[in-house]
Amino acid sequence: MAGGLTETVSNLYLMVEFEWGLLCDYGAGSAPNDPCVETAAYRVGFIRANTDATLDIGGESKTYKAVPEMDFEMVDALKGGTADEPFRVILPLHIYPANVMVGNPFPTTRVSVWQCRMGDAGVPGTWGGANYSRRLLAQGQVGRTTARYNRRPDIVAVECYRNKAQMQSVTLGITSSQRCYWRFGDNNCQFPIQQATVSTVSCTSIQNQKLYVTIPQNAVIGSALQVISGYQAFQYGYAEAEGLKIFIREHRVKSGANYIVATSGVAVGQQLELLLTFQPPSHPNYTWLTKPITLVGGCTKNKSACIGKWNNAEHFGGFGVLVPTYNPVWEVGGGMPA
């Protein structure tokens, strides 16, 4: 097999992957049940060995470039407490991907560090097929790169931060943002959630993450859903049956033989296609096909949706949007208005 590698000193190898341009795309093909799969536009892999290695990982052939001088450092490891410390990957400068190093801020780049075991302990092994096992040592995102690390002109140190480590420097509070922080329908939002709800919806088909439903004659349709114009009523909302809630990514309505993006109010008789975050139950022992489903509308948390979709500007949770009109009498010093 290509990438054959035989080692006689050790059967443990350090492997590092850099992935950026991450995308979780839905429906790349034409079939209605195309799955949602995360992909990386760019990927490079390195192995601390003398020869390149090619492995079959999850049915995909991945090549790791041999870098004998590569190293891995845990910063302040095992010091106790609940801190999640960053870690470093040290590489020759000439092989480090420029797309990750150049520019500030860095593109979102995932770094995975693996310990890979080849064959039995003490026995030389050859890369190929599934003749290996590996354990994840650390995973995070590129936070900082330092060229000429430890005064070596040919070395770069890549400092990576895990999610918890990134949060340690965040000041608690609400960041000033034009995005609303409230949950749709909570005590801060104060929108009557019943006005954005449809009950007793009939499920007609389940195709992977797509849920097909019909609004029956006996459905109770919230008043706000009936007058929506220009927005998807259920996008970022959820479908619920017997306490199980599944997030809705996209809302389409049947028009002729096709389903199109829904941009008008909900009405009896409509046939809807809802793209969910994961597949609803469809096992013979338990399926949503036989259950009455409740659909609850959602909000994109921006000003246009709050005002145009739900007419709830008074309780918008973003900053810098609803600013009082300038009053020259009050602000220039003419005195308080009578």
What is the CATH T-level fold of the domain 193-298, as seen in this structure?
Answer: Elongation Factor Tu (Ef-tu); domain 3 (2.40.30)
Written as tens digits, the pLDDT of the chain (338 aa) is 334 444 444 567 889 998 887 666 555 555 555 555 667 778 899 999 888 888 877 777 888 999 998 998 876 555 544 456 788 899 998 888 766 655 445 557 889 998 887 654 444 444 444 567 788 888 888 888 888 888 888 888 888 887 665 555 555 566 666 788 888 999 889 999 999 999 989 899 999 899 999 999 999 999 999 999 999 999 999 999 988 999 999 999 999 889 998 888 999 999 999 999 989 998 888 999 988 999 999 998 888 889 889 999 888 888 755 555 555 555 544 444 44
Determine the Cα–Cα distance for residues 284 and 287; give it in Å rounded to an integer: 6
pLDDT at residue 122, rounded to an integer: 40
Can you give the pTM of this predicted structure?
A: 0.47
Q: How far is CA 270 from the centre of its chain?
A: 31
pLDDT at residue 297, rounded to an integer: 94
Cα distances (Å, whole numbers) of residue 258 to 156, 223, 271, 311? 54, 27, 11, 31
Tokens encoding 235: 């996008």
pLDDT at residue 247, rounded to an integer: 93
Q: Kindly give the residue spans of alpha helices, DSSP state H, lying in the chain.
A: 98-101, 163-167, 223-226, 303-304, 328-332
Greatest CA separation for the chain = 92
pLDDT at residue 202, rounded to an integer: 87
Determine the Cα–Cα distance for residues 54 and 65; give it in Å rounded to an integer: 9
pLDDT at residue 124, rounded to an integer: 42
pLDDT at residue 273, rounded to an integer: 93
Work out the angle at residue 276's Cα, subtended by the Cα atoms of residues 221 and 186, and round it to the nearest 5 degrees.
Answer: 55
Q: Domain limits of the chain?
A: 12-167, 193-298
